[in-house]
């Protein structure tokens, strides 16, 4: 089986080199630091879509917490 290459947008991620713990907050309220980095990231949309498409359960991706991504998935299902 072919090994999947990491998505190319990751090379332009604003979170590269940043402490990963910031992106895995215990509560949504603790996610503000990660969100601030994501909102200034040039690949935020690609990152968020990747996380939604891969059902990434943990952490902040594309500026959205796990709970926010679950809500987005539900909304998309309803409007499909």
Contact footprint for ligand SF4 (CB under 6 A):
13-15, 23, 37-38, 41, 43-44, 47, 61-63
Q: How far is the CB of 14 from ligand SF4 (least distance, A)?
A: 4
- In 3D space, the residue among 51, 45, 42, 21 whose CA is nearest the CA of residue 33 turns out to be 21
- Minimum distance of ligand SF4 from residue 1's CB (angstroms): 26
Considering beta carbons, is residue 61 or 69 the nearer one to ligand SF4?
A: 61
Q: Which two tokens stand for residue 32?
A: 């503000």
Tell me if 32 sits within 8 A of 65, measured CB to CB. no
């Amino acid at each position: 089986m072919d090994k999947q290459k990491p998505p190319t947008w990751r090379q332009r991620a604003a979170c590269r080199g940043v402490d990963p713990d910031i992106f895995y907050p215990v509560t949504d309220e603790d996610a503000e630091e990660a969100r601030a980095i994501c909102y200034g990231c040039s690949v935020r949309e690609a990152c968020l879509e990747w996380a939604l498409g891969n059902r990434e359960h943990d952490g902040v991706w594309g500026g959205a917490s796990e709970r926010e991504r679950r809500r987005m998935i539900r909304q998309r299902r309803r409007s499909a």
